[in-house]
Structure 1
Amino acid sequence: TVARDYVAVCTPDFFGFNSELGLQYRGRLDASRREAGAPGLRRDLFEAMKQVARTGDGPLDQVASIGCSIKWKDDA
């Protein structure tokens, strides 16, 4: 699966790529938790992808996603 191929560990886990399909961002959507974020809340994925569009490179500082862990079934 795509999640397994990219070694996703929780949901949601966001991945952002540049035009050469190089992974430039892996992390959270934003700083909110379960509820909708307050106005002015940092939108990590949006800001990261703006930087990728502008420079081709993602931010050095990335905040990991927090969510439900993915439980993989054995292939056997």
Structure 2
Amino acid sequence: MAVESNATELRTLPDVTLPNLDGEPTSVSALAHGRPCVVVFACNHCPYVQSVESELGTIADAHPDVAWVAICSNDVETHPDDDVHGLRDQATRAGWHFDYLVDTSQDVARTFGAVCTPDFFVFDVAGNLTYRGAMDDARPRQPQLVDGAHLLSAVEAARSGQVFTGGKPSMGCGIKWREQ
């Protein structure tokens, strides 16, 4: 069942450090370092992510002045396709040349208020949240809609420190939370 994002309490880019796919600690704010930053909560198994992942890679490559970061917060015990090996395969398949981080504790997803994959958060150069929502109007089985329109508009707004109020909520597979 698809999950849709809602309003978030988040206002600024959290100073979080997570391991990348090689196990190296990676600071999201250090990656941003005075640039607009896009953080996407993603995973390997979700058809909503799979339907946009290649276009996301193309967009990220076309905008090297923006910091791009993917984070997987899913429980790999229940979704083993989202383990480090699966995420590496996904990054290769999708042409992602940006950091993919692993949120094993799921604390970072909670800090952001992320609820689904994909779930996009765009920050300006000062680290202020300027957009939270969908990449575009695409849904699985609607490949003609994969164009990154909302994300591209949000990135342009972030470059000038503006909030992008267009777009729509993220929709995708719910984050696979561990039982508490």
Query: TM range, normalised to the smaller chain?
Result: 0.7 to 0.9
> Unmatched 5+ residue regions in structure 1?
none
Cα distance in 1 for partners of 2:158, 2:129 equals 10
Q: Between Structure 1 and Structure 2, how many residues are aligned?
A: 74
Residue number in structure 1 paired with 2:162: 57
Runs of 4 or more above 6 Å deviation? none
The answer to whether the 8 Å contact 1:18/1:56 transfers is yes
Partner Cα separation in structure 1 for residue 162 and residue 172 of structure 2 = 26
- For the Cα contact (< 8 Å) 2:120–2:133, is it kept in 1? yes
Asked if 1:73 is matched to 2:172, the reply is no
Change (3 A) 1:42 1:16: closer
- Summarize the alignment of residues 35-54 of structure 1 with structure 2, pairs less than 5 Å apart: 35=141, 37-38=143-144, 41=147, 43-53=149-159
- Output the amino acid matched with 1:61: G
User: Which residue in the other structure is 1:24 paired with?
Assistant: 130
Q: Which residue of 1 aligns with 2:115?
A: 9
Q: 1:42 to 1:70 in 2, by over 3 A?
A: closer
Partners of 1:56 and 1:64 lie apart in 2 by 21
Q: How far does residue 37 in structure 1 lie from its aligned partner after superposition?
A: 3.8
CA positional deviation for 1:59: 1.4
1:33 equivalent in alignment to 2:152: no
Higher relative contact order (CA 8 A, sep 6+): 1
Would the aligned equivalents of 1:31 and 1:37 in 2 still touch at CA under 8 Å? no
Deviates more, 1:66-75 or 1:3-12: 66-75
User: Matches of 1:49 and 1:68 in 2, distance apart?
Assistant: 24
Distance change >3 Å, CA 37–CA 50, structure 1 → 2: farther
Contact 2:150 2:166 in 1 (8 A): no
Identity in percent: 36
- SS of aligned partner of 1:3: helix
Higher helix share: 2
Report the 3-state secondary structure (helix = DSSP H, G, I; strand = E; otherwise coil) of the residue aligned with 2:138: coil
In the superposition, the TM-score normalised over structure 2's length comes to 0.36
